[in-house]
Amino acid sequence: MTAQQSRAPGADSVRTVVGPVVDGAGLHLEDVAVSRAGGRSVVRITLDLPEDEVGSLDSDTLGDVSRAISAALDADDVVPGAYTLEISTPGTSRPLTEPRHFRRARTRLVTLRLTDGGTVHGRLVDVATEGDGVVLVLDDGTRLALADVRKGKVEVELKRLEEADEASGEDAGESRTDEES
């Protein structure tokens, strides 16, 4: 998503309408983009949990807030004509560039690209404010000033996903459709 899409005409109006809905659901409005695709608009909204929470936004909550957002957009008619509404979460592919992103990645395995060209891998256990800056703390005791990190990324851990599925009683190889849930 480009900065131009986020600031496209209508994105600010959509943000104004959906902001209170998202806040009311206890979520964070990460981004809003409005673009044209043929004869209709595409409204892309990215939602996340508040930065102090650990974990992922569950599909039931995402579905509930999606319906509420759709109803608010239809009621206020801020998107002229036909439109497609796409609501998602940042996912693991989001680069970690802001303090908020790092706070949301606590407990996750991360790769950090440093401003000096180096790379550090580890599990992010804390994001602390020290003095005038933010410090990232890894499970091995490494402490890095956020100012020394160019960007980070969350590493997907298949073993951890399987453990989460086992804990929830689902078979890791099983999938469910919306009709089944």
DSSP, res 80: -
Higher pLDDT, 2 or 159: 159
Distance CA 44, CA 177 (A): 22
Distance CA 123, CA 141 (A): 10
Confidence of residue 163 (pLDDT cuts 50, 70, 90): low
Confidence of residue 6 (pLDDT cuts 50, 70, 90): very low
Look at residue 18 and give its three-state secondary structure.
helix
- pLDDT tens, position by position, 94-105: 899 889 999 999
Distance CA 106, CA 125 (A): 5
- pLDDT tens, position by position, 72-85: 999 998 888 889 99
| Sequence spans of domains, the chain | 3-88, 99-158
The mean pLDDT of the chain is 84
The mean-pLDDT minimum among 61-65, 93-97, 131-135, 171-175 falls in: 171-175
- pLDDT tens, position by position, 51-71: 888 888 888 999 999 999 999
Does position 123 have pLDDT exceeding 50, yes or no?
yes
Does position 15 have pLDDT exceeding 60, yes or no?
yes
Does position 4 have pLDDT exceeding 70, yes or no?
no
Q: Are 10 and 41 in contact (CB under 8 A)?
A: yes
Beta strand 149-154 with 143-145: parallel, antiparallel or unpaired? unpaired
Domain 99-158 class?
mainly beta
- Fold classification of 3-88 (topology level): GMP Synthetase; Chain A, domain 3 (3.30.300)
Distance CA 2, CA 11 (A): 12
**Nearest-CA neighbor of 134 among 123, 148, 122?**
148
